[in-house]
Amino acid sequence: MVTDTTPGAAAPRPSFREAIFNRRTLICIFTGFASGLPLYILIQLVPGWLRTEGVGLAEIGFFTLVGMPYTWKFLWSPIMDRYTLPFLGRRRGWMLTTQVALIASIATMGLFDPKLSIWTVAYLAAAVAFFSASQDIVLDAYRRELLPDHELGLGNSIHVQAYRLSGLVPGALALILADHLPWHTVFYIVAGFMLVGVAMPLSIDEPNRDPGAPKTIREAIVEPFREFVAREGFAPALLVLAFLFFYKLGDNMATALQTPFFIDVGFTLTQIGSIAKSASLTAAIVGGLVGGLIMVKVSINRALWLFGVVQIASILGFALLSEIGANPWMLALAVAFEYLGVGLGTAALTAFIARSTNKAFAATQFALFTALAATPRTLANAVTGVIVENIGWTNFFLLCTALAVPGMLLLFKVAPWSERRND
């Protein structure tokens, strides 16, 4: 069972005004946008680009394997916990380095024709995933050090909603532009939005280094795992790790081929970019406000239950859209419900992960936990194209709904509804 052992866990909850209107909230918006943009390039823009260029669904599905760095990022996170680059400080130096690398790799990807250079595109996509996962390591650690315990729910909810809103750039603006501009120009424009991320480490302060932070690379590798197991106990720790894997398995699979799904249903790129993403914008804003405010007053445990139910139900909207066909109103409703449900579920899960980490080992523990949560998106999603080609879109979404249930059942052990917590 996860318990909060960090100082100040019993601090009184702030008012809504105190929780929302502070500089930490603004920083969470920037961390969310910078973190989400590269991922949505990989899961929305690249699949749509490949599909319009004539690449098959099976190949697009296997293309998600380039996201393996999100799963294995805990392997190099100790380096970012232990070492400080010779500029800007321990956290901000790594932020700037990964963000500049992301701009270069994103811009370069659009220079190639996927029909002629599919492996080159795959290598560049893998580079985007590596630098994006590395950026996530340091942004998650910075946010954990920035937020007091009573702001973990709201701060991470705002981060997640900004994360999802960043998807409007590659998933809406870029698709609309692709109907009028060559693809390499589209990728240049999208890469330019990462300048928002570059501005962040240049304008924020470096957090104070925790006195318990690792002083050697051995400590950075061993202590985060030892501390987590010692704190939880071996069997409860395994249950927590299993929960992190299963909680978002269903909705990760359901959204893996979202853009190709819309194309196959019969929507144009402009319809996808305008209707679908406008609906997602509205839902994400509502979900961010509602979810964040709920977690100011409601425990993270209960948020996991409430938001998880909405998250499962939202998958069924895509099954219904598959049966109805290219109806713009149904597209808007299905996407809005999906962004509301998945956004709420992600906000609660991210807050749970933050609560489960020790600040002294924030980068490595956060990387391990988020890597487990991202594993289904990388491994299971790799075969989604094959599954769809064999059972069809409707049955695929029903399967995704069923796969979302085990994560909810694990809540009985890792985050009981009735347990009272100071989170």
Based on DSSP, count helices (H) and strands (E) in the chain, helices before strands: 26, 0
pLDDT at position 37, please? 92
pLDDT over 60 at 401, yes or no: yes
Phi/psi region, residue 303 (left: phi>0; alpha: psi -120 to 50; beta: rest), is: alpha
Rounded to whole angstroms, the Cα distance separating 264 from 367 reads 35
pLDDT over 90 at 131, yes or no: yes
Minimal CA–CA distance to 42: which of 67, 61, 68?
Answer: 67
Question: b/e for 127-148, b at 16 or more Cβ within 10 A?
Answer: bbbbbbbbbbbbbbbbbbbbbe
Q: Are 158 and 288 in contact (CB under 8 A)?
A: yes
Rounded to whole angstroms, the Cα distance separating 372 from 370 reads 5
- Taking residue 97's Cβ as centre, other Cβ atoms within 10 Å add up to 19
What's the predicted TM-score (pTM) here?
0.69
pLDDT confidence band for 20 (50 / 70 / 90): low
Taking the mean position of all CA atoms in its chain, how far away is CA 178? 25
pLDDT over 70 at 4, yes or no: no
pLDDT confidence band for 216 (50 / 70 / 90): confident
Helical segments of 147-192, H only: 152-165, 168, 174-178, 183-192
Give the model confidence (pLDDT) of 166-210 as tens digits.
888 888 788 888 888 888 899 999 999 999 888 888 888 887 665
Percent of the chain with pLDDT over 70: 88
What is the DSSP-derived secondary structure letter of residue 75?
G
pLDDT at position 396, please? 93
Minimal CA–CA distance to 361: which of 141, 112, 94?
Answer: 141
Minimal CA–CA distance to 253: which of 353, 85, 379?
Answer: 379
Q: Are 294 and 347 in contact (CB under 8 A)?
A: no
Question: Judging by beta carbons within 10 Å of its beta carbon (0-12, 13-18, 19+), is residue 15 exposed, middle or buried?
Answer: exposed
Alpha-carbon torsion 286, 154, 204, 218, what sign? negative
CA atoms lying within 13 Å on the CB side of residue 360: 19
pLDDT at position 164, please? 76
- Name residue, tokens 């760095």: 69
Q: Are 92 and 204 in contact (CB under 8 A)?
A: yes
- Name residue, tokens 């925790």: 210
- Name residue, tokens 């932070």: 213
Question: Judging by beta carbons within 10 Å of its beta carbon (0-12, 13-18, 19+), is residue 39 exposed, middle or buried?
Answer: buried
